Amino acid sequence: MGIENDFELTKLYDTKYVLNVFNPLPIAFTKGSGVWLTGTDGRKYMDMIGGIAVNSLGHGNKELTKAISDQASKLIHCCNYYLIPQKSELAFRLCSNSFADKVFFCNSGAEANEAAIKIARSYFYYQGHPEKNEIITANMSFHGRTMATIAATGQEKFRTPFEPSVPGFKYVDFNDFEALETSVDDKTCAVMLELIQGESGVHPADKVYVKKVRDLCYRRGILLIIDEVQTGVGRTGRLFCYENYEIKPDIMTLAKGLAGGVPIGAMLCTNEVATGMKPGDHGSTFGGNPLACAAANCVLDQITSADKGILANVNAVSSYLFEKLNELSVKTGKIKQVRGMGLLIGIEFDDSIQAAGMKQLLMQDGFLVSSIGASTIRIAPPLIITQREAAMFITELGKILKGKRK
């Protein structure tokens, strides 16, 4: 039984049997190539959201498809009771290309952030300071949907239906160093930050602020956790976003684009922080499995390849998008602000345009984006998008803003 080409049956089964937590748009896809997805109706759509920053190499990447297929034909899963060569290689490569010395693998960004929260607390526990268990996060942050990660998330709307919340978190305004510094006390074990707050409308951290936070953590002997679930693996034009800020965290989390669409998460840390986990303290049945790690190794092969020039492409297309979006802002007067870094961009409109409505119009015209709040759309296309393809999106957005849509 297969229903991938039967849209009406797909819609019926989804409505009747799938828990409605996503409220999906009335569209389904059968295949993809590069930045393009093909719907069940045969129509092509430009994927300007990239599976929410997941499809880093686009759709149908031949090398990634081969790596997954080859690994699946040999061994899909092997539990962590044994050594897994693909996991060992991926750990080596991530550490070799970052600040980190150790990696824990899991299946999602939320799980990676759970691991970060746990190791930040257990690090001080094993040092004889169990009272140091509070973590400071930022208002309007987003760290996941598990009980601990929604408690870490600085948006009350995510926590309220599931109260009581997991204790041990404080929230301060993003980019407000004085508020953060004042909140640090003898119970603080870590500060946890996104360098770009994606789910609140794509708001980058100020570079001076980040450096001050890094120095504060050093001075107060607390850990700095950087959540790069959305910004990592080339999304901002560097392999990791923290490189743009000229700092090094103590702990970093990755997921989304790391395996190009195969579920994976990773928590990276220094050797010092790694003393906070002992055998049996944490684990994951599927984390670090051969299939996901083979995919991630292939993604890293391509993103770090100078010959492929993917990071250079991110920076070039990003510059083009920011230039043209700001030109549209001047020409139409309907874009209030363009924010972000690399290929993670938020476009905020004035009061005359609703973000959800803009998302619908763009979808009708063959372009997929996400909407955040009342006035902002987010784009996070595959890192292999060309300037020509980016120009197609700019042209279509311009037609809508100028009222010239057919």
And the tokens for 311?
């990071």
Report CA dihedral (351, 354, 359, 360) to the nearest 10 degrees: -130
Instruction: Please check whether residues 237 and 138 belong to one and the same domain.
Output: yes
Instruction: Please check whether residues 254 and 162 belong to one and the same domain.
Output: yes
Domain that holds residue 361: 7-60+309-401
Q: Does a structural domain hold residue 352?
A: yes
CATH code, domain carrying 389? 3.90.1150.10
Instruction: Please check whether residues 201 and 245 belong to one and the same domain.
Output: yes
CA distance 377 to 367: 12
**Single-letter amino acid, residue 39:** G
Give 404's pLDDT tier (boundaries 50, 70, 90): confident
Q: Does a structural domain hold residue 347?
A: yes
CA distance 261 to 54: 6
Mean pLDDT, all residues of the chain:
96
Flag whether pLDDT at 405 surpasses 80: no
Q: Dump the DSSP string for 240-265.
A: SGGGGGT---SEEEE-GGGGBTB--E
Instruction: Please check whether residues 292 and 204 belong to one and the same domain.
Output: yes
Closest CA to 113 of 251, 289, 208, 219: 251
Q: Helix or strand or coil: residue 315?
A: helix
Calculate the CA 141 to chain-centre distance.
12
Q: Does a structural domain hold residue 65?
A: no
Choosing from 277, 303, 329, the residue where a domain stops is 303
**Strand spans (E) along 96-151:** 102-106, 134-138
pTM equals 0.96
Calculate the CA 261 to chain-centre distance.
12
Instruction: Please check whether residues 165 and 190 belong to one and the same domain.
Output: yes
Instruction: Please check whether residues 195 and 251 belong to one and the same domain.
Output: yes
Q: Does a structural domain hold residue 2?
A: no
Instruction: Please check whether residues 318 and 347 belong to one and the same domain.
Output: yes
pLDDT tens digits, 297-327: 999 999 999 999 999 999 999 999 999 999 9
What does the pLDDT read at residue 82? Answer: 96
Instruction: Please check whether residues 185 and 330 belong to one and the same domain.
Output: no
CATH code, domain carrying 123? 3.40.640.10
Work out the number of other CB atoms within 10 angstroms of the CB of residue 59.
23
What does the pLDDT read at residue 4? Answer: 81
Give 406's pLDDT tier (boundaries 50, 70, 90): low
Q: Does a structural domain hold residue 15?
A: yes
Structural contact between residues 240 and 228, judged by C-beta atoms closer than 8 angstroms: yes
What does the pLDDT read at residue 52? Answer: 96
Percentage above 90 pLDDT, the chain: 95
- Domain tally, the chain: 2
Within 13 Å and on the Cβ side, how many CA atoms surround 397?
32
Structural contact between residues 64 and 277, judged by C-beta atoms closer than 8 angstroms: no
Mean pLDDT (whole number) for 375-394: 98
pLDDT tens digits, 17-67: 999 999 899 999 999 999 999 999 899 999 999 999 999 999 999 999 999
Mean pLDDT (whole number) for 114-122: 98
Mean pLDDT (whole number) for 275-290: 96
What does the pLDDT read at residue 2? Answer: 79
CA distance 50 to 35: 8
Instruction: Please check whether residues 123 and 267 belong to one and the same domain.
Output: yes
Structural contact between residues 293 and 267, judged by C-beta atoms closer than 8 angstroms: no
pLDDT tens digits, 220-242: 999 999 999 999 999 999 999 99
